[in-house]
Structure 1
């Protein structure tokens, strides 16, 4: 579909933009459009993208590969593919951005695939976690994770713990379906049985009925996936209030104990088990430097998977700028991205040259209290994991 300048005029005027003064517009300025929710119930993702991206640029002295960088933010408000497409068109056509970044929700990321394919604009995914996204355009690179990547090692671990019967309970949209498929296929491969698969509508606020079904299923554990924010709090509350923990039904998840919400859970979160690629408590010099840079940029920012996805996303953009000497050359930029490996705040990582998805360690985590605060304590590393959900 052609990029129509006239069709963009109204959207361009209506779109809310935030341009950070790392630089005034100059001929040599590299423009990066960051797309995410900066308003509405998922606005924390946008603020964490902003903090992570700006902290990275600041950590490099305010320039990337010697080039001035202008970060241009666009607000999707939430899962809104049509609006996301309009905003991405505006960034590509009107603002002539060199790179795109961000994208919280899978449908939003998929909506821009035809645009970046046509314009040859590299787009770095800071969050959206459905495996198939990177297959939709060769100009996608992902620095977050996928549900298959973090779920397969968790299913293997669960089987090794002697768990035989598990119920899956996931939010009924792309990533939730991915999570369910990943856990079910791997757990059954390991000899386990999924006694029930529960899909919860995305608008669910009362998780009590689902918790009761889980308790009645006869399962030894529940594997769950929910989008960040209020659904996590609601599900864990229902898990405890309906006696699942007391009945010995183990909680298994991925991002459900996200650092952004973790302190809100209170002691009800203690002992919750997750497998994930990052913990704010990860003990490394790189993570300490990241946390310090993030706090210096925004004292209210939280070191979590969204902010570290943005930090590493800007590292990838930095290296693409370096490889192209700041010129607009999508093919050359992507060729450079495919070769990248570095020490991230999450541990050693690399970009898979075929899938353009990040290969990274996945950690078994348990919620503990340290110094009066709840943390996702890393109990063990499963080692480097690829995206098991991609087509062979």
Structure 2
């Protein structure tokens, strides 16, 4: 009887210990202040949507989400990453909105064997030669959406195109992506500073060229300013505006009706007709009272990926080979439909063309009109030494 009582007592203590196990720490790095704050906040909201629906758990285990604001400053992001890794001892970092921030922290984080589940930035370097087995990107490689738009422009027969983008890694990747499938010589190639909000000089050059179409990439507040000024310059309706990440659920209310007809490339839109996407859109709108953007969608997928992988290892994320294999398996239902990782741990996925229209509720929204690429792997995976 004594032995039975001791055994029962030990079993009770083990259950109590399990019940009070320390939560798994996950660091979130994103732009949560300044002109790009809406992007970081939508990513955070997308991640939190699943986390809060599951009572603060992923994979059945309690999660402590530690937020860090990078302020769109690489030095600040490096300090945030160092704090998360060395002070908080996080095994996982997610988020990361901009490619210059990703390049500032990627090597440090992955060299410390911390899993980097990036849910926006996808610079070409980490898709290629600088890839790491500890990176798992749930968004896209930076060229891919622009490649889809370039193919669309080629198929539309546009012979004279001006491209505009900020002068940083993502801007260069996106322009390269557009040129990879748009085979005509560009009429002009214009670069701006990353924080520029006045595009009058560039738009004057566009007006002088009189192109068949304009292709532009400007994230966050830059995109809103550019789209408004494009319309104010009288270019809407004259030269079709082709974009990546200029028009989305974040920017459309601010741009207004002048956004009608703008073309955008991307991996997902709110009209996707699969069960996971429909549930995500419904739940996001119910909770946050707004349409989710692609930033929220890819961050929700990051939470779904972690949910599946943490469950597979029963919360033992310190078993790095097992957790790495669980992440690579990507055993979850993505908002974009099918999802699998390539050798460089970037998604193999479809890339689509969307047009700004009014939806059934009279809201500006994105309607999918074409799919130039299905099950498409990025252009840099062959440079990545991972098998």
TM-score range, shorter chain: 0.7 to 0.9
CA positional deviation for 1:319: 2.5
Q: In the TM superposition, what are the counterparts of 1:11-22 in structure 2 within 5 Å?
A: none
Query: For the Cα contact (< 8 Å) 1:152–1:182, is it kept in 2?
Result: yes
- Determine if contact 1:150/1:275 at 8 Å carries over to the other structure: yes
Aligned to 1:234: 225
* Residues 389, 262 of structure 1: alpha-carbon distance in 2 compared, 3 angstrom cutoff: farther
Residue 373 (structure 2) pairs with residue 378 (structure 1): no
Alpha carbons 1:368, 1:374 under 8 Å: kept: yes
Aligned equivalent of 2:12:
none
Give me the whole-angstrom Cα distance separating, in 1, the residues matched to 2:40 and 2:164: 27
Q: How far is the alpha carbon of 1:324 from its aligned partner?
A: 2.7
- Which residue of 2 is the match for residue 69 of structure 1? 63
1:223 aligns with 2:215: yes
Out of 360, 367, 386, which is 2:356 matched to? Answer: 367
Q: Deviations over 1:293-312 (max 9, x none)?
A: 3245x424541111112111
Unaligned runs of 5+ in 1: 1-24
Match of 2:125 in 1: 132
Please tell me whether residue 203 in structure 1 is matched to residue 195 in structure 2.
Answer: yes
Matched, 1:29 2:18: no
Q: Please identify, of 102-111 and 42-51, the stretch whose mean Cα deviation from structure 2 is larger.
A: 42-51
Alignment of 1:105-254 (within 5 A): 105-134=98-127, 135-188=130-183, 192-229=184-221, 231-246=222-237, 248-254=238-244
- Matched with 1:263 is 253
Higher strand share: 1
SS of the residue 1:111 aligns to: helix
RMSD: 2.0
Which secondary structure does the structure 2 equivalent of 1:308 belong to? helix
Cα deviation, 1:291-335, whole Å, max 9, x if unaligned, reads 233245x42454111111211111222233223322213333222
Partners in 2 of 1:208 and 1:357 — Cα distance? 37
| C-alpha deviation, 1:31, in angstroms | 0.9
Note closer, same or farther for the CA distance 1:39–1:69 as it changes in structure 2 (3 Å cut): same
- Runs of 5+ unmatched residues, structure 2: 1-18
Correspondence for 1:42: 36
Q: TM-score by structure 1 length?
A: 0.86
Superimposed CA distance per residue, residues 12-35 of structure 1 (whole angstroms, 9 cap, x where no aligned partner): xxxxxxxxxxxxx95342111111
Alpha-carbon distance in 1 for matches of 2:344, 2:78: 23
Contact 1:170 1:200 in 2 (8 A): yes
- Would the alpha carbon gap of residues 111 and 351 (structure 1) be closer, same or farther in structure 2, given more than 3 Å must change? same
CA distance in 1, matches of 2:366, 2:37: 23
| 80-89 or 267-276, which deviates more | 80-89
Secondary structure in structure 1 of the residue aligned to 2:48: helix
Partner residue in 2 for 1:299: 288
Query: In structure 2, how many angstroms separate the alpha carbons of the residues matched to 1:209 and 1:46?
Result: 29
